[in-house]
Amino acid sequence: MREPPYLPFLSGPASLAPGLKPIAPENLIAPDTEAEAWLPEKRRIMKAHRAEVFFSNLPDVALIEASRLVTGHLPPPEEDWPTPLEGAAARVSDDLCLLQRGADGLWRLEAASLVAPTFWRLAEKAGQPLGGLHDPVPDANPGLVARIARMFDALRPGQVLERFNWTVQAGDARFTPDAAPLKALAANTSDEAALRVLHLRVERQTISKLPDSGLLLFTIRIAVDPLEAVLSSPDRVAAFQAAWNGTDPALAAYKGWPHYERLVRAALRRLS
């Protein structure tokens, strides 16, 4: 098993706070920790499930601008794709989403190549304003959404912000528009197998503004690692347990954690 690249629970409980931090622009994508494990399967899904994982209301010129920002550090492509955004998404492990600010001041999802959704469907969010993207996150509206919108408005081209989300799931699937199969797997997993079946799922997100179009580019990288590899030391076990216990119950329910509570407790008992 590899060393997990991201361990955001070390920073404390899961939270709704944006937690955005500036990073160097060259780290928008690189280093791509998931490319080797995920890119072949990602490309297969992009072709087999295109209607589920891609949409765009934007002209190609905007998609080209986003593509160049994402793949500027890579060698020339070896394969043609229907759109520039898909061509870029096929070369990095990250999903790519573009938001446009409308005349009403609302940021809306207007294009995306989304192959590793964390339990939501692109068709349900396409064209939605920021508030619609976050429903039904507890307490997401209106305060959190307004705060995030102000951050988006103030973002300048050349700035890159980074944040992390995390959860647990049963199995190692990344193409997960529906959480039901994972919850069913958890329900049918014995306590003894908890460490082997449970995985930490981390979203690494970056946010940047395109200089010509003014669009917002979201990159979303999914890293999935067995809990057995994640909790490889007593310090990590203690930090994970504190973060799990300390997460607000409403947010834990939104994340589906009650479906994994039994297995998480079993895993922690085995490691204590």
Q: The pTM is what?
A: 0.94
The answer to whether 95 touches 217, Cβ cutoff 8 Å, is no
Q: What is the pLDDT of residue 137?
A: 59
Beta bridge partners of 164: 204
Distance set, CA 259 to CA 222, 226, 252 (Å): 21, 17, 10
* Residue 197 pLDDT greater than 90, yes or no: yes
pLDDT digits (tens, 9 = 90+) for 50-96: 999 999 999 999 999 999 999 999 988 889 999 999 999 999 999 99
> Taking 70 as the threshold, does the pLDDT of residue 134 lie above it?
no
Q: Which residues on neighbouring strands pair with residue 219, listed in sequence order? A: 96, 206
